[in-house]
Structure 1
Amino acid sequence: MSQCVPQVRAFTVSAFAASVLLVGCGADGGTSAGRSGPVVPDGVAADLSVTLQQSRLDYADRVVEIEVANMSDTDLVLLGGVLESESFGPSTETTSRPFRPETLAAGGRRGFYVQLGTATCRPDPAEDAVVGAELRAAVTLAAGSRGDHGEPTTVQVPVSDPGDHLTRNLAQDCAAAAVASGVTLTQGETVRTERRGDETVAVLTLTVEPVPGGPDVRITRIDGSTLIDPVDGEAWTGRALAGQDDGVLELALVPTRCDHHAVSEDKRGTFLPVHTTVAGAEQRAVYVPMPDDAKRDLFEYIADYCDWP
């Protein structure tokens, strides 16, 4: 049976109670406005608890999980929803994990995934980004079963963020925006190798292109990662960064480790953690991704360096 998740209509919520909206779906969504079936009880929002979660594998994609706990005595169906925050624009459904009906039994927990909207940052790069106090979720529910449920109902529920995930995401997004206002950072399409003494090292490039009219951005340090180590220490600093004045950095590296699963399970090891100042203000590290062709070069180099069969 086709399901639909209705669009959320904005409305206000008091600190003590959440209002309920009944929103019908059109024929294209598989549910008509006159659909019969069980109805979500009035006041069910007061019996829902919503928590924001984020796994380390979702950091790069800015995806968070909205976990809903049903503390009522009624079985429900969780259909999706929207995260609403003063610090981010409207969240969106992810393409990798789209909304689908999930049984939210009485006393049970279920979650859905959304991608964070555009961060709302302060204009001065020296000011810290601060997450707004109001954090809510518009959660879309129905009564019945996953395959046969009643009219969708959207309720507004406060959201807790015990892991402070939004603070980290906001700081990361605003640092990236501040840096991007002054320079464009791009990893090269290839990773080459060269012989240095009795060791073969890999060399990747980072292009630094100033943005006309943007603030002055200086790279102060580039860290290694779970996959790569700078040849001359724990990070690229000092003379290793002198090439930024000419627009290209060449960064020599060796593998951090040689166990196979470090590469096969890698999620972030090809991102370069770049530390900068923007108009003299120190920023949180920004992570510059590696193109796919360069990844293949790097993985081949690691295999050769580690003498894998």
Structure 2
Amino acid sequence: MRSSKFSYVPLFVILVFILFLYSIQTVRQSLFFSSRNRVSIAVLAPHAFVMSYDKKTAITNVIYFNSNAQVTVPGGYGWYNLNSLPLLGKIEHKEFAITRHAFEELVGAPVDAVVIPVGSDIVDKSSEPFIEWFFAKRRSFLTPLSSQYKLSEHTIVDWYFFRTILATRKDKLVFVDGSTGLVQTKKNGMRYSAEKLDLTVKGFLYWTYPSIGGSVNIFVSQEQYSAGTRIGRIVEGAGMKVLDVQTVQQVPSTCMLIGARQHRDTLHSLANYFGCIIKLNESDPYSRGVINFYIDTKIGTIYK
């Protein structure tokens, strides 16, 4: 009796198809394929800095900071040195989130991803001037195979584009010194002032896409009003105008953005960044130029 042979071809085709679907999903989830042109990544290394890349112009704004200075960490953590954020993140089991929110506080704008050291609680500051250090280290100190640093976004696509940003040509790099936002205190040393930083940094991290626009009203509970003002600063740092931060008696269970279809790009970008739902409002002609942003308790706690 002739034995039948098992064919591996169908199995191979299925595996290839699954791999194809996974690749498509990976690309779609990558922050570098979002609808907006600008992507900002914070790096906590011997120098702390934020790279903000415009996908349309290929210009990268690089804002650098003194890693020994203190910054307010949202969430009720108070003031911490930038170079000690990895330690706080490990203690709270939120190493990426705490670092990202601290850098949001620094630049007063959205930060899409962060790069932090591996296995280091305190980051040693480099004595070398930042720009010299940047050009010497940018191509070598962060690679997909690096054992020293890790990116909060783990896909190969994100790593590839991060390397692309690091390799930006010199004539496409704009350096901004964040030390202008430093304030000397008597008891606590150097601290970064949000008000002073806004004078220097605002505008360098604006989101850009074809139909940017719309003013924003923010609604938040009385107990989390400080979170509303902090989120308002981030929204303005993305290039939108915040008209008011108002308190309400009851907040939704999930943060919500209500606006007209004409501002769909803005709505989707804000919703993706803060993890909110969208409700289109076409019935009220007086609200078409305004986006109403309702902050839920969860987001309010993160940014308080």
**TM-score category (smaller protein):** under 0.3
With normalisation by structure 1, the TM-score equals 0.25
With normalisation by structure 2, the TM-score equals 0.25
Q: Larger % of helix: which? A: 2
Which structure carries more relative contact order (alpha carbon 8 Å, separation 6+)? Answer: 2
Q: Larger % of strand: which? A: 1
Q: Which has the larger radius of gyration?
A: 1
